[in-house]
Structure 1
Amino acid sequence: MEGLTAVHSRIAEIQNRILTLASASSTSTSAALSSQWASAASAAGLTGTSAAAATGTTATTGSGLETQAVAAAQRYLGVPYAWGGTDPSVGLDCSGLVQRVYADLGIDLPRTSSQQATAGTAVASLAEARPGDLVFFDNSSSRPGIDHVGIYVGNGKMIAAPQAGQVVQVQDVGSPSVIRRVLPASAAASPTAPSSGAGLGGVPYADLFTAAGARHGVDPALLAGVAKVESGFDSSAVSPAGATGLMQFMPATAAGLGVTATDPASSIDGAARYLRQLTDRFGSTDLALAAYNAGPGTVSRYGGIPPYAETQSYVRKVTSAAEAYS
């Protein structure tokens, strides 16, 4: 145990320096994190090049969003415990860690563990728990009710911020009082089951389409259809008009959405947010697609799909592709 404590302390120094990096969903950031973890693990006398290897957790098991949840939690390993803490540069408490991890995934959770224990849906037992589920505990005999929470990572382990003087770490789960599933239902399905329709399983970036669709209430098959028609799933595509990336954002639109158009994760998330906005504004998927292609101002001006052959063809092609992936 003393050796494991020394490892966590050594890694904590590196972890605190890299927490300010951009979201781990970015491809370039993921590479940077892997490099930093490799250095930390090597310095600590460990083998492996990832946070998962350093901690022994199984981040590669489960569905795409489950894997993302575990990976997001691993980013905070080594952060000091701080009562009431919500800022990883200062410290995190147990519920602050949970709130932060799920905010990284685009999921809003309440602030305290007792409030978080009412979120999502109940899981009957630890045997039925999936990576990314929340495990809650009543540790105080003097004050009944939930007072601690961790993030289940599989194999009877959780990531949690335990108590003052310790750091965010991997622990045995033990016997939780409550287990809740806060990831979207599609994310908790069996890894052998398709995440969204029979056709998405072999689609490039399927996990990103599923995750973004769940966050923003957009059919992942529709997002895949847009990517197929826009770029043929080519994240480096550039159109003659200057649209770039997998989802073909014009620079002004990308800037307005805060999207890095050449980063698949950012591009797909931005497209899902944009399509959600357009659908809410115009009231139908077809009009949202028309606005995505021709601009919302054009759809407003014509009061429907504009009489442009390109836009009308675009709506048909995306709709057909989405149906094939559903």
Structure 2
Amino acid sequence: MSGIAEVQARISDIQARIAEFTGVTAGQTISQTATKLSATSSASSSSSTAFADALSTSSSGAVVTRGTRSVADTSTGQKLLAVAKQFTGTPYKWGGTTPDGFDCSGLIQYAGKQIGLTLPRTAAQQAKVGTEVPSLDQAKPGDLVVLSGGHHIGIYVGNGQMLHAPKTGDVVKISKVWETPMTIRRLGTTAATTAAGVGVAASLLAGVASADTSSYVRPASLTSSSAAGTSKSAPYEAAFSAAEQKYDLPTGLLRAVAKQESGFNPNAKSHAGATGLMQFMPATARSLGIDPTDPFASIDAAGKYLKQHLDSFGSVSLALAAYNAGAGNVRKYGGIPPFSETQNYVKKITADLGSAA
């Protein structure tokens, strides 16, 4: 989407939202909108404050009409959905937590922040917030829908569909809920800070009202990213634990393998052609049905793969040797193959497991 088209889309969305709460028609200009907002506030109030006040009034229990449609008090989940929808079309970016690009949980965490809601970072962690909804039939718009064994999450929009950031090469969009969710979580009915809930729209309004659309820059409130400071493995800890529990593997095994394979770098590529966090060769990745550049899919696949080797060979050391050198070589040599790379690989990982115990 071009800069101009993006601004125009944002303006239309903002005007529509303002209209819901103030009676301003979507066809009015930004300057007319700002004038109307200012008129609803005190002489010293800004237009963004007026907008927040108008929304606060509507969400306190009053019903505001727009044409023949009524907008009643909304839940936290509905507010989350309304904010997240503004980013439809935003590119998927693995590890993305800002409007420059989102992954699935990054979108939800960011949208939550805009309504004053603090949510954990990963899908596995977000799958534990709120209260559980028994089935999709009972889900309401704004509920969190958790899929793919806890590795993917979206926001339910109704009619069996959800808003989510799907995968690399795709964009934030509404899609069908394609499988029975692992869990559905409801965030509750107590609204978070109302003014924060309109922070995105208000800052966008202020930004585009004075911007040259040929060189539009997002307001700082939409581009700032959270401070770093966590270890390289932090984004994957929940996924490591979930896969270890799923495949009945020793605690810490997948983390140790990822450390040895890629140093927790999801973009790593070996001279032999292995790629991703868990360093799968293309043929192995195809056999497991995964994209090896997707770190969370790779973690689950690595758990499955190691479980297969563990069942075949009966020990963690031999399972690791098979992961590194291939099951055929383990069978050929009747144990850990006499390759220095493989022997060092097994020693380092088992040492990590020992120190973690």
Distance 1:154 1:317, change over 3 A: farther
Which residue type is aligned with residue 180 of structure 2?
R
Deviations 1:9-65 (A, max 9, x none): 9958x97xx8xxxxx9964799799599999xxxxxxxx98453577765329x973
1:219 aligned residue (250, 265, 280)? 250
8 Å contact from structure 1 (residues 234, 245) kept in 2: yes
Deviations 1:232-269 (A, max 9, x none): 22222211111111211111111111222222212212
Distance 2:251 2:323 in 1: 16
8 Å contact from structure 2 (residues 322, 330) kept in 1: yes
- The reply on whether 1:243 has 2:322 as its aligned counterpart is no
8 Å contact from structure 1 (residues 26, 266) kept in 2: no
8 Å contact from structure 1 (residues 260, 266) kept in 2: yes
Distance 1:156 1:8, change over 3 A: closer
- The reply on whether 1:255 has 2:335 as its aligned counterpart is no
Report the TM-score when normalising by structure 2.
Answer: 0.47
1:101 aligned residue (170, 181, 203)? 181
Distance 1:321 1:79, change over 3 A: same
Distance 1:79 1:285, change over 3 A: same
2:120 aligned residue (35, 55, 60)? 60
- The reply on whether 1:308 has 2:339 as its aligned counterpart is yes
Deviations 1:180-215 (A, max 9, x none): xxxxxxxxxxxxxxxxxxxx9984432221122222
Between the aligned residues of both structures, percent identity stands at 37
- The reply on whether 1:77 has 2:139 as its aligned counterpart is no
**Pairs within 5 Å for 1:139-288:** 151=185, 153=187, 203-204=233-234, 205-288=236-319
Distance 2:94 2:322 in 1: 27
Look up the SS of the partner of 1:236 in the other structure. coil
- Size of the aligned set, in residue pairs, is 215
Deviations 1:260-302 (A, max 9, x none): 2222212212111111111112111111101001101111222
Distance 1:268 1:30, change over 3 A: farther
8 Å contact from structure 2 (residues 262, 276) kept in 1: yes
Distance 1:56 1:323, change over 3 A: same
8 Å contact from structure 1 (residues 64, 211) kept in 2: no
Which residue type is aligned with residue 288 of structure 2?
L
1:173 is aligned to none
Quote how far apart the aligned CAs of 1:220 are. 4.1
8 Å contact from structure 1 (residues 35, 49) kept in 2: no
Distance 2:335 2:246 in 1: 27
**Pairs within 5 Å for 1:18-97:** 27=95, 34=102, 50-53=110-113, 58-60=118-120, 65-70=124-129, 72-73=145-146, 75-80=154-159
Deviations 1:53-86 (A, max 9, x none): 577765329x97342455545724222379xxxx
Look up the SS of the partner of 1:241 in the other structure. coil
8 Å contact from structure 1 (residues 9, 78) kept in 2: no
Look up the SS of the partner of 2:180 in the other structure. helix
Give the alignment's Cα RMSD to 1 decimal. Answer: 4.8
Look up the SS of the partner of 1:77 in the other structure. strand
Distance 1:29 1:49 in 2: 8
Distance 1:241 1:28 in 2: 29
2:226 is aligned to none
8 Å contact from structure 1 (residues 243, 250) kept in 2: yes
Distance 1:59 1:254 in 2: 32
Deviations 1:90-139 (A, max 9, x none): 7x8xxx9xx8221xxxxxxxxxxxxxxxxxxxxxxxxxxxxx7xxxxxxx
8 Å contact from structure 2 (residues 97, 109) kept in 1: no
Q: Structure 2 unaligned runs (5+)? A: 1-58, 60-70, 130-143, 147-152, 162-173, 192-229
Distance 1:66 1:298 in 2: 39
8 Å contact from structure 2 (residues 321, 330) kept in 1: yes
Look up the SS of the partner of 1:100 in the other structure. coil
Which residue type is aligned with residue 120 of structure 2?
T
8 Å contact from structure 2 (residues 96, 102) kept in 1: no
Report the TM-score when normalising by structure 1.
Answer: 0.51
